[in-house]
Amino acid sequence: MKAERDFPRFIISEKGARWVNGGHPWIYEGEVLSGDDCENGSIVDAVSEKGRYLGSGFLSRNSRIRIRLISRNANDRFDGDFWRRRVRYAWDYRKTVMPHDLSCCRVIFGESDGFPGLTADRFSDILVVQTVSAGMEKIRDTVFPLLLEELRKDGAALRGIYERNDIALRIHEGLEQGKGWYDPPEDDSTFTEICENGIYYAVDVENGQKTGFFLDQKYNRLAVAKLAAGRTVLDCFTHTGSFALNAAKGGAKHVTAVDISRSAVEMARDNAERNGLLDRIDLITADVFDLLPELAASGTKPYDFIILDPPAFTKSRKTAENAERGYREINTRALRLLPRGGLFATASCSHFMPQERFCRMLRTAAADAGVELKQIEARQQAPDHPILWNVPETDYLKFYLFQVV
């Protein structure tokens, strides 16, 4: 390590050093043996017990993740030019993997893009950001203007940045919750419209789920549309109607869309009307866990394509077993409703429900339902949510398409 570096030094255990050398960018509190006195969110150097440089990252004095690495290069200087390069790399990646979908996409996906604790989603003319690390919060006045500048260089007509920091994770970083415009624009409406897969959606960036709309299922919705022609579809947990609308646009005979949230159903109705698809979609406010048994009790099988896209049933390893029971229940009930030859789409968006466990659950659910599953496709999140193989937490979305045989 170069002697002229003046960043605070934190000594990491040999176990932690092996973890870092394996490629993971997080150093947990139990692996930090000692460290210099410095502010929460500061950039610090992590070194092994033998004094070997491991990397530099953001310090969090409040979180179990004590250091989030941003570089393993001892020559890096973390100035505006450094962060501009990171923004450019992230944006160029999106231009490469989804060049025709840049008007609504994830621009920054945290650790996958070298911005630990930062999410940035573009919804047409608004960039929505969510910051969940003290270090990113500390440099927001450097990074946010660079995001706007680099995207605008490529013709992105952005009104400004809206911060969605109304998230409990910030508490673990010693940060306050809140939401609002970063440098409010002249037109400060928090509503905008996006077009995804040829379908238009109203997006409320102030009050919508997460940052306003779920972008990660973009191409999974398209996969459903390609199979929906002539089908009678039940879309469970429809939220704002995205799978239902894709199925209808794909030629479904009829679609029933269900969500427990009345406001979500009303937004789905507005989206269906905006796209001229309301005549082929019924929208129901109901609890899917109650609805599926009611449909089974009727003794009929009115649907030949069922979609399950539930919210995350677990956000921690402690509740993963209970979550698995919930997944098993709804998947079993849905499979019992489908006739032979029917189609089934099912998903989990929790990284605490890893693929192996989710697949085991699906096999059990199929056995409980007395059916066999023929896999059509196994899919993941869209490529604007890139998966780093050395960071399992970035691999979170499981999506399967089956035929019941």
pLDDT tens digits, residue range 15-66?
999 999 999 999 999 999 999 999 999 999 999 999 999 999 999 999 999 9
The vertex-255 CA angle with 240 and 380, nearest 5°, equals 60
Q: What is the pLDDT of residue 350?
A: 84
Query: What is the predicted pLDDT for the residue at 200?
Result: 97
What is the strand order of the sheet 126-131 is part of? 104-109, 118-123, 126-131, 160-165, 178-182
For residue 4, what pLDDT is reported?
Answer: 55
Span 143-156, average pLDDT = 97
Residue 209 pLDDT class (50, 70, 90 cuts):
confident
Per-residue pLDDT tens for 220-248? 999 999 999 999 999 999 999 999 999 99
For residue 62, the model assigns a pLDDT of 92
- In angstroms, rounded to a whole number, what is the distance separating the alpha carbons of residues 334 and 332? 6
CA distances from 235 to 257, 299, 343 (A): 5, 20, 12
Q: Are the C-beta atoms of residues 291 and 282 closer than 8 Å to each other?
A: no
82-123 tens-digit pLDDT: 999 999 999 999 999 999 999 999 999 999 999 999 999 999
Compute how many other C-beta atoms are within 10 angstroms of the C-beta atom of residue 232. 18
Tokens at residue 193, please? 């419209």
* Per-residue pLDDT tens digits for 239-284: 999 999 999 999 999 999 999 999 999 999 999 999 999 999 999 9
Question: How many residues are recorded in the chain?
Answer: 405
pLDDT for position 2: 43
Check: CB of residue 233 under 8 Å from CB of residue 252: yes
Is the pLDDT confidence value at 3 over 50? no
Which pLDDT score, from 0 to 100, does residue 322 have?
A: 80
Distance CA 11, CA 36 (A): 9
Q: Give the residue-averaged pLDDT of 332-344.
A: 97
What does the pLDDT look like over 157-202, one tens digit per residue? 999 999 999 999 999 899 999 999 999 999 999 999 999 999 999 9
At 5 the pLDDT is: 72
What domains does the chain contain, in order, with CATH numbers?
9-71 (2.30.130.10), 80-188 (3.30.750.80), 216-404 (3.40.50.150)
CA distance 42 to 61: 10
Which string of b and e fits 302-330 if b means at least 16 CB within 10 Å? ebbbbbbbbeebbeeeeebeebbeebbbb
Could you give the residue numbers annotated as active site? 349
Backbone angles phi, psi at 72, to 5 degrees: -115, 15
Q: What percent of the chain has pLDDT over 90?
A: 90
